[in-house]
Amino acid sequence: MSSWETVIGLEVHVQLATKTKIFSGASTTFGAEPNTQACAIDLAMPGTLPVLNKQAVHYAVMFGLAIDAEIAKESAFERKNYFYPDLPKGYQTTQLEKPIVGRGNVEIQLADGRTKNVRIHHAHLEEDAGKSLHEGDFRHGVSGIDLNRAGTPLIEIVSEPDMSNAEEAIAFAKKLHSIVTSIGICDGEMSQGSMRFDVNVSVRLTGAAELGTRTETKNLNSFKFMEECIAKEVERQIDLIEDGGTVLQETRLYNGETKVARSMRSKEEANDYRYFPCPDLLPVILTDETIEELRRNLPELPDARQARFVAQYGLSDYDAGILANDSAMAAYFEVATAKSGSAKLVANWTIGELAARLNSEDISIVKSPVTAEQLAGLITRIVDNSISGKMAKEVFEGIWDGEGNADEIIEMRDLKQVSDSSALEQMVAEVLASNQAMVDDYINTDEAKRKKKLGGFMGQIMKASKGQANPQQVNQILAKKLNELL
């Protein structure tokens, strides 16, 4: 068996979170009725003309600044010509020769603690196409066109082939997701197509100088699908070569539902796009002042935020990394921390209980049923010993189910922890009195084994208090009272 190495490069389409489209005033809101958000320009009606959305340009520049890339003072749009029903003009307005963002760098962290630099070749502005709705989505035997998405602004980020396995590719993809959502240029909603990944994969014998023939799998919109697709494609290519075949340069599709990959078109079938400068649009000129202003106002980047979380809140690097790389989670964490004053508990709950619930129900943190304020309320009650950790989970469930905030649920369900020492002392005394056999057993046991026996009393007391007794306090009182009996 020979040893193989994998080479991966990504092309990432990021929908920019502008209110209107890149060349028209139509809204970009996701999920509207088909063709209700397409104006005459988006429909490519005769005589209509594009006007560039300044916000889209600024967002692209912000991305460039975030990855420390060269920003082109002059960039230009070109027409990429091909016929497809969801491409209303018969060309896509995009950038080729003069992209707005030049070379840059993205640093990724790997599970073993290593970091790696992925070079960005360039990023350019372009318009999204519409959507073709075929059978299954639409009436039998008829295809429909929905042009709501046509003209949505995109940046296409093209990486160098710097990744050598799926882990690195996913880490890179997640890092880009983290950057674009942190600087607020994309909503990051992968399931709505806000970020889509084209994965270029090739394999070669370890140490070979030349790159192998690559395939491009288009339009993956989840990290999980990306991982599966890369694994399958690497295996396919290696099997093919080891069986004496050759990898064909082709464009492929991967169906995340059926887990089946297939060829879409070969290199020979590829279009000649006949790019040429778009005569309807002037070159995009950026002044130093504009670039500097955008740089000054650039929101905090994930890496800087991670460092700050460590320094400011005393979090571990690992926890800080998880929170900082998801800007919505980071914002949630900071709000809950500000309200509760307990960064570490908030971090634990956010990364633990909350993230697990959100994940299992596939809800994004911005739509979390437990708001940051509500989590802070819960944590405040843990800190002031009003409730135990076990109770806290029950309260969390209550908040999740919409029963109210922590205090309301504690009140309603009578979950308040009993920390009143006289009440606890009485409770302990009652349990000891009614369990004389256990007390005798405790007294007659070797000192070394007595500690173990304490658990039995604890269980009885907690049962008697319906779990509301403060366990630390009970422990102390119990030990004291039993020692008195010795």
Partner 1 sequence: MHNLTIAELVKGLQSKEFSSTELTQHFLDRILSLNPAYNAVITITAENALKAAAVADKRLAAGNAPALCGVPILHKDIFCTRDVRTSCGSKMLDNFIPPYNATVVENFERDGVVVLGKTNMDEFAMGSSNETSFYGAVINPWAADCVPGGSSGGSAAAIAARLAPGATATDTGGSIRQPAALCGITGLKPTYGRVSRWGMIAFASSLDQGGPMARTAEDCALLLHSMAGFDEKDSTCIDHEVPDYSATLGNSISGLRIGVPKEYFSEGLDVGTEQAVRVALAALEAQGAELIEISLPNTGLSVPAYYVIAPAEASANLSRFDGVKYGYRCEDPKDLQDLYSRTRAEGFGEEVQRRILIGTYCLSAGYYDAYYGKAQQVRQLIKQDFTSAFKEIDVIMGPTCPSPAFKFGSKGDDPVAMYLEDIYTIATNLAGLPGMSVPCGMVDDKPVGLQIIGNYFDEALMLNIAHQYQQTTDWHNAVPKGIL
What is the binding site for partner 1 (CB under 8 A)? Answer: 40, 43-52, 79, 81, 83, 85, 88-91, 145, 272, 274-276, 279-282
Closer CB to partner 1, 91 or 223, in the complex:
91
Closest contact distance (angstroms) between CB of 151 and partner 1 is 13
| Least distance from partner 1 to the Cβ atom of residue 35, Å | 10
Contact (Cβ atoms closer than 8 angstroms) between residue 8 and residue 172: no
Q: How far is the CB of 74 from partner 1 (least distance, A)?
A: 15
The minimum distance between CB 216 and partner 1, in angstroms, equals 19
Backbone angles phi, psi at 313, to 5 degrees: -110, -5
Amino acid, res. 114? R
Q: Which is nearer to partner 1, 284 or 387 (CB)?
A: 284
Phi, psi of 247 (to 5 degrees): -80, 130
Q: DSSP states of 107-133 as a string?
A: EEE-TTS-EEEEEEEEEEEEE---EEE
Q: How far is the CB of 34 from partner 1 (least distance, A)?
A: 13
Strands 144-146 and 153-159: unpaired
Helix (H, G, I), strand (E, B) or coil at 414: coil
Residue 228 identity (one-letter amino acid):
E
Q: How far is the CB of 128 from partner 1 (least distance, A)?
A: 17
Tell me how crowded residue 306 is: count the other CB atoms within 10 A of its CB: 24
Reduce the DSSP state of residue 193 to 3 states and report it: coil
Nearest distance in Å: CB 280, partner 1: 5
Nearer to partner 1, 184 or 277 (CB): 277
Complex with partner 1: residue 25 or 459, whichever CB lies closer: 25
DSSP 3-state assignment of 455?
helix
Q: Which is nearer to partner 1, 278 or 391 (CB)?
A: 278
Residue 64 CB, shortest distance to partner 1, in Å, is 23
In the complex, what is the shortest distance from the CB of residue 97 to partner 1, in angstroms, rounded to a whole number? 11
The alpha carbon of 75 is separated from its chain's Cα centroid by a whole number of angstroms, namely 31
Helix (H) or strand (E) holding 159: strand 153-159
Find the shortest distance in angstroms from Cβ 320 to partner 1.
46
Helical axes 447-464 vs 436-444, angle rounded to 10°: 160
Which is closer to partner 1, CB of 14 or CB of 43?
Answer: 43
Nearer to partner 1, 43 or 166 (CB): 43
Closer of 145 and 247 to partner 1 (Cβ): 145
> CB-wise, 276 or 318, nearer to partner 1?
276
The distance of Cα 227 from the centroid of its chain, to the nearest Å, equals 15
Nearest distance, CB of residue 38 and partner 1, angstroms: 10
Angle at the Cα of 295 (from 294 to 301), degrees rounded to 5? 115
Q: Look at residues 59, 104, 50 and name the one whose alpha carbon lies nearest to residue 77.
A: 50
C-alpha neighbours within 13 Å on the C-beta side of residue 157: 31
Q: Which is nearer to partner 1, 53 or 340 (CB)?
A: 53
Closest of 328, 271, 336 to residue 305, by C-alpha: 328
Alpha-carbon gap, residue 123 to 179, rounded angstroms: 14
* Nearer Cβ to partner 1 (83/209): 83
- 372-383 vs 389-400: helix axis angle to the nearest 10? 160
Please, what is the end-to-end C-alpha distance for the chain in angstroms? 73
Distance CA(435)–CA(300), nearest Å, equals: 61
- Where does 366-424 show beta strands of DSSP type E? none
Smallest distance from partner 1 to CB 273, Å: 9
> Measured between alpha carbons, how far is 30 from 22 in angstroms, rounded to an integer?
15
Closest to partner 1 by CB, 112 or 272:
272
**Residue 257 exposed, middle or buried by CB count within 10 Å (0-12, 13-18, 19+):** exposed
Can you give the length of the chain in residues? 486
Strand, coil or helix: what is 408?
Answer: helix
